[in-house]
Chains A and B, each alone.
Chain A
Amino acid sequence: MVKILLHSVLIVASLFFIAPYYWLLTSAFKSLPDIQKLPPEIIPLSPTLANFRELINSTGYTQSLLNSLYVGIITTICALFICSLAGFAFAKLRFPGRDKLFVVMLSTMMIPSVVLLIPSFIIMTQVGLIDTFWSLILISIAPPFGIFWMRQYISVAIHNEIFEAALIDGAGYFQVYWKVVLPLISPGLASLAIFIFTVSWNSFLQPLTFLKSPEKFTYPVQLVAMQSITFPVRPTHLIMAGATLSVAPILVLYVFLQRFFVSGITAGAVKE
């Protein structure tokens, strides 16, 4: 009895969270009149790829997806390297001032991004990076949270014996990092990669502020631009197709790597 009740609560809740998603994905395969038809078709009766064709042929949307992908991938690779290297140093190396530097690094997490938006806009303009992808990449490749996370991960995952054995064999610190540490922390790196890529992929405020030329827009900026078109009609079908394309890569990652998504969020949130 209780069991049925609990299940039904969960089913209703799941529907609430999935329904808009389902509507988004199915609308992408419906023509504009079909999207607005009443009663609505729960399952598209005449699914079509025309929206995607139109989207790809007649708008800059493909370019904007590629832009987002480019920024996301470069950001992720750079961030993984910077975070794991710094995390390694903070976790395993001894050097004067290490703990002080670590605390300074941590405290920078408290700075809200709103405060940084305007001045970093000005600095990007000064150094000529405004309207380039590098403006987006540079501000997000050294997230203090990532370093903190990698430090925690490495101090647990790498035993001091392994580390010391490698040092006694005459390896330098960087060699140890590259040959011993990196291979052992790949699950942690995977979680961090997903976290950083998703944040970069979905970010809106910075691209909106930093990018000026339409051919450099990332997809969220492009979608908002498309929504402001109202003549002759608002291209709802194209927005749905575009949104679907933008969600698809993350969705695929999520289906296969669910645990990495979740471990990214709960890292540090719960003390164990």
Chain B
Amino acid sequence: MQRLLILVIEFLIMPAKTIKLKKLNSASPLKEQNRFWKKVEPYLFVSPFFILFLIFGLIPLMVSFLMSLFRWQGVNPGEMVGIGNYLALLRDPSFIRALINTALLWIAVVPTMIGLALVLAVIVNSKLIQWQNVYRGFIFLPVLTSLVVASLVFTILFDQRNGFVTSVLSNFAIEMPDFRTTRYLAIPAIAGITLWRWTGYVMVIQLAGLQTLPESVLDAAKLDGATGIKGLVHITIPILRPVLVFTTVLITIGVFNLFDEPFVLYGTKGGPGGAGLVLGTLMYRNAFEYFKLGYASAIAYVVAALIFAASLVQLRFASTADYT
């Protein structure tokens, strides 16, 4: 759940006092044995997480970092290459392509999704609208589908031979090129599915943010003549800024982790000229088709570093907010 990255960072930079809880009055005198048990019990309660994390988190993490320093094919002991894998990445045209595609997807998805979700959230939140819950429910509906199902549905809808949308468009003499073989359609196709699947999710978060805005602020703004779009730009958006940054970070992390949609649409080869290749599918191909585990681990670490850097930049952007 890297979508919570920002939460964690925020939590870590929060003053320590907010984490600390009130002291409990120590309980009435207990038997010695009982007392010992009471000391051990809390650790037992939290231990499942730490044990599982050790086995499936910490150890894998160290192993994979070591692996990224080796040329390792899974069978042979492998050969230490130091940062060789990372250097090789820079000369790998597939990696560069995947990196560019991921960047393009980011550019295509972030502004549209944030904007669309914000517009919808503001309208749904408006006092002029009845059946808020119904609209919210509809817009949120795609979030329930698995990404695989969403991608399959779109693949079939836009299928070249007898897809629904293609056929309807051809009725109006509009020829829809095949998104699976047309280079320039790869990014829009992936971005479109992502937009359909996630906008409702982002909207729900922004809506929750909007609903915490104190009514008095909005009323005061109205008295000052900031209504409608003016109010939105000058009052709502600045106050909502933390939520907007949070959702931007979520989407950014999501884009860097994209796998299901490009995998279903373009497989691990990335479709026409690698136009649908992203970092996730590239890593999968290297790890589980070429068995270049060391090289694939290096890709994974680059992705992690990018996510971390992007989140930090966006958080810095958030913390310099000026409310005046």
A266 to chain B, nearest CB (A): 4
Would you call A10 and B303 a contact (CB within 8 A)?
no
Contact (A119, B149) CB under 8 Å given A108-B53, A111-B304, A227-B264: no
Contact (A6, B126) CB under 8 Å given A13-B139, A16-B196: yes
Cα of A90 to Cα of B11 in the assembled complex, Å: 15
Asked if B124 is an interface residue, CB under 8 A from chain A, the answer is yes
Q: Mark B297-324, 1 if CB is under 8 A from A, else 0.
A: 1001101100110000000000000000
Q: Which residues of B contact A270 (CB under 8 A)?
A: 205, 208-209, 212, 243
Q: Mark B92-133, 1 if CB is under 8 A from A, else 0.
A: 000000000000000000000000100110011010110001
Q: Which residues of B contact A251 (CB under 8 A)?
A: 144
Would you call B50 and A101 a contact (CB within 8 A)?
yes
Asked if B59 is an interface residue, CB under 8 A from chain A, the answer is yes
Chain B interface size, under 10 / 10 to 19 / 20 to 34 / 35 or more:
35 or more
Of B135, B201, B307, the residue contacting A265 (CB under 8 A) is B201
Asked if A110 is an interface residue, CB under 8 A from chain B, the answer is yes
Cα of A85 to Cα of B48 in the assembled complex, Å: 10
Say which one of B16-24, B78-86, B182-190, B231-239 lies at the interface with A: B16-24
Residues of B within 8 A of A (CB): 1-2, 4-5, 7-9, 11-12, 16, 19-25, 27-28, 34, 37-39, 41-43, 45-46, 48-50, 52-53, 55-57, 59-61, 63-64, 67, 116, 119-120, 123-124, 126, 128-129, 133, 135-142, 144-150, 152-157, 162, 164, 167-168, 171, 196, 199-201, 204-205, 208-209, 212, 242-243, 246, 253, 256-257, 259-260, 263-264, 279-280, 283-284, 287-288, 293, 296-297, 300-301, 303-304, 307-308
> What are 28 contact pairs spanning A and B, CB under 8 A?
A3-B128, A7-B129, A9-B120, A10-B123, A10-B124, A13-B116, A20-B154, A24-B153, A85-B45, A89-B42, A89-B46, A93-B41, A94-B24, A99-B16, A115-B303, A118-B293, A119-B63, A147-B49, A168-B27, A172-B38, A203-B146, A204-B146, A220-B260, A227-B155, A243-B153, A250-B145, A268-B7, A270-B212
The 5 closest A-B pairs by CB, nearest first: A119-B60, A202-B146, A89-B45, A220-B148, A266-B208
